[in-house]
Amino acid sequence: MPIKTEREESSYRALARSLREALVRGDYADGRALPTEASLAQTHGIARQTVRQAFHELVSEGLVYRVRGRGTFAAPQDGAYIMQLGTIDDLMGLAVDTVLEVVEPLRRQVDVEAASRLQLSQDTVSCLVFRRLHDEVPFCLTTVYLPPDVGALLAEYDEFGEAGSSSRSTIIGILDQRLESPVAETQQSITVALADEATALHLACEVGDPLLRIDRVHKDLQGRAVELAINYFLPSQYSYRTQLRRRATM
């Protein structure tokens, strides 16, 4: 069947995305070979050159390796969770193989800084704290801030109302389905932070250990900020990858 492509996404990138999701799920673990170029070309109705481009992209990301005469195989990842980001859909894809575990249930609170970053006219926000696990190992602690009306959408989900409850979902994925205007843009900043006592407890690390801090502000089609997510990642359990391309020239 033809592979599903996102808007303005080339066929080889769509195939690379599909294979990347399969690799993250572990579909080709334990030495199993990926389908051949000829097989993928026939299955998706695309040229072998297109499949080859997709494989080259995955090789450059360190997700697969190729052995002449034998095939293409998933590269060992030493137990760390690897995330390849290229689109907002990749963020939603976290739900495929990770679990969200609530640390502090959804609640309303006054937070001047978060309200300012969400460009709200008042200081009350909805807040949710959770950690994310892969194979039962925590690798990220996240605090999400939402405009109160957006937070009301999450309040309808029981799993966000009790500490210790879990869900195979992403906040951005839920909001993208529930909001009248879908999520269309993400502004991201990356810095380094040191683990405080609470963060160290939830990520099973030592106080003062270096963490990767990634702040994301998600906006809808109208440019309204609908979510601020402050994430602390444990470097020993998480690898962050992004791909940069040159702007097309005439």
Pairing of strands 183-194, 210-220: antiparallel
Token pair 């005469």: residue: 69
Looking at 3.90.1150.10, 3.40.50.12780, 2.60.260.20, 3.40.1410.10, the CATH number of the domain 81-242 comes to: 3.40.1410.10
Which residues is 194 bridged to in the sheet?
A: 210
Q: For the segment 48-75, what is each residue's pLDDT rounded down to a tens digit?
A: 999 999 998 888 777 888 888 888 988 7
Mean of pLDDT values over 87-116: 86
* Between 31 and 44, residue with greater pLDDT: 44
Mean of pLDDT values over 167-193: 92
Using the CB atoms, write b or e for 129-147: b if 16+ within 10 Å.
bbbbbbeeebbbbbbbbbb
Name the residue type at position 112: V
Q: For the segment 70-93, what is each residue's pLDDT rounded down to a tens digit?
A: 889 887 665 566 665 666 676 766
Q: Which two tokens stand for residue 159?
A: 């799993």
Task: Show me where the domains of the chain are located.
Answer: 11-74, 81-242
Is residue 216 predicted with pLDDT exceeding 80?
A: yes
Q: For the segment 130-143, what is each residue's pLDDT rounded down to a tens digit?
A: 999 988 899 999 99
**Rounded CA separation 33/186 (Å):** 35
User: What is the per-residue DSSP string for 104-147?
Assistant: EEEEEEE-HHHHHHTT-SSSEEEEEEEEEEETTEEEEEEEEEE-
**Rounded CA separation 188/85 (Å):** 12
| Nearest-10 crossing angle of helices 37-44, 48-60 | 120
Residues 6+ apart with CB under 8 A from 48: 37, 38, 41
**Rounded CA separation 45/3 (Å):** 8
> 11-74 sits in which CATH class?
mainly alpha
The per-residue pLDDT for 94 is: 67
- Claim: this prediction has a pTM higher than 0.85: no
Contact in structure between 169 and 113 (CB atoms under 8 Å): no
Pairing of strands 81-85, 238-242: parallel
Is residue 235 predicted with pLDDT exceeding 90?
A: no
